[in-house]
């Protein structure tokens, strides 16, 4: 079986390695290097995976989500849920591909919404979606893991409603996040990539006065906060 991602052909959707996934990301313009970026976690780094560049290519994101779905037995999943915003896209496509292999009732695609900012940020499941979760097997999806904090909050949200989280499936694990960092939930990442990152006060790029990228990540917010000090 051949799968095409932005013109790249692979023999099987099950044997794509990190190098192959990196080529897909790069082909979509989703990898930025030699820059100074601020991640959602607040850490600084020189490499950025711009998952938003992937989302505009529906064929590519569908193919990637099909690989994410292949890891799981569709008959053992009842719900797929992800945090807004990117997790909404992923939950829809992963659920779509899981349902293609489902032999009984439909798997539902839900999302968790963000409340608050920074350290006060949390996730809630509302709009009536919370009623679907008690007693169900739930797959959590996320785009990128840096610290795993957002994924953990969604996992805890699901557990708090009586759902059983069977796994966390992500496009990329860039922070070396482990199951113990996300509530002891098994992690399946399409791409495992170690990217150097530092707290603001230890960032060598800041010490070199390298300009912060304000178009990607949280660079603009970081600079606005710095100006208020």
> Which domains occur in the chain, in start order?
3-228 (3.40.50.2020)
Mean pLDDT within 166-187: 95
Question: Is a pLDDT exceeding 70 seen at residue 119?
Answer: no
Sheet containing strand 137-145, strands side by side: 122-124, 108-115, 79-83, 137-145, 164-173, 187-192
Instruction: Write down the pTM of the prediction.
Output: 0.80
Whether the Cβ atoms of residue 168 and residue 185 lie closer than 8 Å to each other: yes
Question: What secondary structure letter does DSSP report for 190?
Answer: E
Q: pLDDT class for 15, splitting at 50, 70, 90?
A: very low
Whole-number Cα distances in Å, 158 to 134, 214, 217:
8, 34, 27
Of the given ranges (93-102, 116-125, 181-190), which has the lowest mean pLDDT? Answer: 116-125
pLDDT at position 6 is 37
pLDDT at position 118 is 64
Whether the Cβ atoms of residue 178 and residue 164 lie closer than 8 Å to each other: no
pLDDT at position 8 is 36
pLDDT at position 1 is 28
Mean pLDDT within 45-69: 91
Q: pLDDT class for 56, splitting at 50, 70, 90?
A: very high
pLDDT digits (tens, 9 = 90+) for 120-173: 778 999 999 999 999 999 999 999 998 899 999 999 999 999 999 999 999 999
Mean pLDDT within 197-213: 94
Contacts of 87 (CB under 8 A, 6+ apart): 81, 111, 112, 141, 142, 143, 154
């Amino acid at each position: 079986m051949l799968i095409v991602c932005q013109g790249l052909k692979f023999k099987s959707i099950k044997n794509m390695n990190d190098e192959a996934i990196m080529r897909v990301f790069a082909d979509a313009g989703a990898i930025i290097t030699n820059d100074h970026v601020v991640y959602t976690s607040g850490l600084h780094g020189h490499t950025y995976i711009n998952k938003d560049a992937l989302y505009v290519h529906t064929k590519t994101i569908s193919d990637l989500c099909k690989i994410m779905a292949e890891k799981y037995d569709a008959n053992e999943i009842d719900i797929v849920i992800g945090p807004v915003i990117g997790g909404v896209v992923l939950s829809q496509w992963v659920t779509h591909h899981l349902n293609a292999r489902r032999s009984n009732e439909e798997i539902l695609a839900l999302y968790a919404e963000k409340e608050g900012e920074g350290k006060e940020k949390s996730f809630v499941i509302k709009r009536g979606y919370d009623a679907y979760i008690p007693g169900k097997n739930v797959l959590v999806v996320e785009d990128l893991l840096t610290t795993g904090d957002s994924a953990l909050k969604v996992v805890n949200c699901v557990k708090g409603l009586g759902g059983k989280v069977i796994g966390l499936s992500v496009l990329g694990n860039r922070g070396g996040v482990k199951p113990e960092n996300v509530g002891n939930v098994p992690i399946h990442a399409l791409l495992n990539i170690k990217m150097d990152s530092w707290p603001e006060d230890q960032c060598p790029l800041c010490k070199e006065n390298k300009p912060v990228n304000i178009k990607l990540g949280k660079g603009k917010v970081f600079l606005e906060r710095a100006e208020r000090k």
